[in-house]
Amino acid sequence: MKTDLDHLPANKRRELDRVVQILFEEFEDAHGEPTGPRKLGRILKIILYGSYATGRWVHEPHTKRGYRSDFDLLIIVNQKELTDWIDYWEKASERIDRETMILNRLRTPVNFIVHTLQEVNDGLAHGRYFFMDIARDGIALYQSDNSELHKPKPKTPQQAYDMAQAYFDQWFNLAVASRMGYHFFHDSGQFPDAAYNLQQACERLYYCILLVFTFYTPYSHNLKYLRSLAERLSPRLIDVWPRETRRVEARFLKLKNAYVKARHSDQFTMTEEEFTYLSERVELLGTIVNQLCREKLAELHAQLQFK
């Protein structure tokens, strides 16, 4: 796997060094001093993938669009238990967010996912584009050894089309169902349930496009993370959520937080103005996701003629 970061500016390389340091510090703190099989648990690789690995990152925070690429990292561990987000990685994520948004020690947002080596190699064996792209373009920031990932086994055109169609049918219909639930609860005056269902509609739309395009989604409830993953698939998705002011972005973050707070906090509220705005944005997201997925399915179907 590649290890060269010479295509990145020095300040970006320093930021990545800092991120890796934080990940190891928080992992070691969470891991503690285990005994038995857990004692052998460790990080095998930390891989940079996405736009900063390929050299196609965007940094335009002061424009109307207000978009900037994230550092995308895959952490590979040797035990399934070590992928547990709450036990092992939540504090690392919170610390990175704090250094980015409050302390300004990191200028680039960071997203990371955690999988076992078996999960990554299984993804490659099943021809999941997401893992294939990482194996092809990823850059190892840390490796416990020089072992390579398994060789990818791409799907046949028929398999790719059938899987993408199945994902689209499943997740777009589920998003529509959540959207219907939103309208029912909103019209009934059950506003926490309305907010939760609107969040679910948005989440499921992101699952849909990620699965259709890459055969992978992290099944996270973090809309900000899902948005970041999806927007790299098409710039048409970026304009769904304007970022020109903190007030506008705060509305999106309120929708993100609805997954937990709308169900568990008596303090969570949404104004009618916020409901209207967020509902319109999710409707637009659904329209664009539908268009993009149908275009992708048509592309995959066309490849069947040349197999």
pLDDT tens figures, 74-102:
999 999 999 999 899 999 999 999 999 88
3-35 tens-digit pLDDT:
999 999 999 999 999 999 999 999 999 887 766
Q: What is the mean pLDDT of residues 275-290?
A: 98
Question: Measured between alpha carbons, how far apart are the two ends of the chain, in Å?
Answer: 30
Domain presence at residue 148: no
Q: Residue with structure tokens 């710039």?
A: 235
Burial class (CB in 10 A: 0-12, 13-18, 19+), 129: middle
Q: 193 and 168 in one domain? A: yes
DSSP string, 81-142: GGG-IIIIIHHHHHHHHHHHHTS-S--S-EEEEEEEHHHHHHHHHTT-HHHHHHHHH-EEEE
Residues 108 and 167 in one domain: no
In a domain, 20, yes or no: yes
93 and 162 fall within a common domain = no
- On whether both 223 and 295 belong to a single domain, the answer is yes
What's CA 170's distance to the chain center, in Å? 19
How many Cβ atoms sit within 10 Å of the Cβ of residue 172? 21
Dist. CA 297–CA 162, nearest whole Å: 9
- Same domain for 71 and 112? yes
Domain that residue 173 falls in: 157-306
Same domain, 103 and 215: no
> Within this chain, do residues 73 and 126 fall inside the same structural domain, yes or no?
yes
The answer to whether residue 65 scores a pLDDT higher than 60 is no
Domain annotation covers residue 5: no
Give pLDDT, residue 101. 82
In a domain, residue 151? The reply is no
Cβ atoms 149, 119 nearer than 8 A = no
Q: What is the pLDDT of residues 185-197, one digit of tens each?
A: 999 999 999 999 9
261 and 187 both lie in a single domain: yes
At 16 the pLDDT is 97
pLDDT higher than 70, residue 64: no
pLDDT at 37 over 80: no
- More confidently predicted of 176 and 63: 176
- Whether residue 219 sits in one domain with residue 135: no
Residue 58 sits in a domain of what CATH number?
3.30.460.10
For residue 181, what is the DSSP state? H
In-domain check, residue 150: no
Q: Are residues 217 and 293 in the same domain?
A: yes
- Label residue 58 by pLDDT band (50, 70, 90): confident
Could you give the percent of the chain with pLDDT greater than 90? 78
pLDDT tens profile 212-227: 999 999 988 999 999 9
Q: What is the mean pLDDT of residues 39-64?
A: 84
pLDDT at residue 249, rounded to an integer: 87
How far is CA 304 from each of CA 274, 297, 300, rounded to the nearest angstrom?
45, 11, 7
Residue 3 belongs to a domain: no
Among candidate residues 143, 177, 196, the one where a domain is terminated:
143
Shared domain for 293 and 165, answered yes or no, is yes
Number of domains composing the chain: 2
Q: Is residue 176 domain-shared with residue 114, that is, in the same domain?
A: no
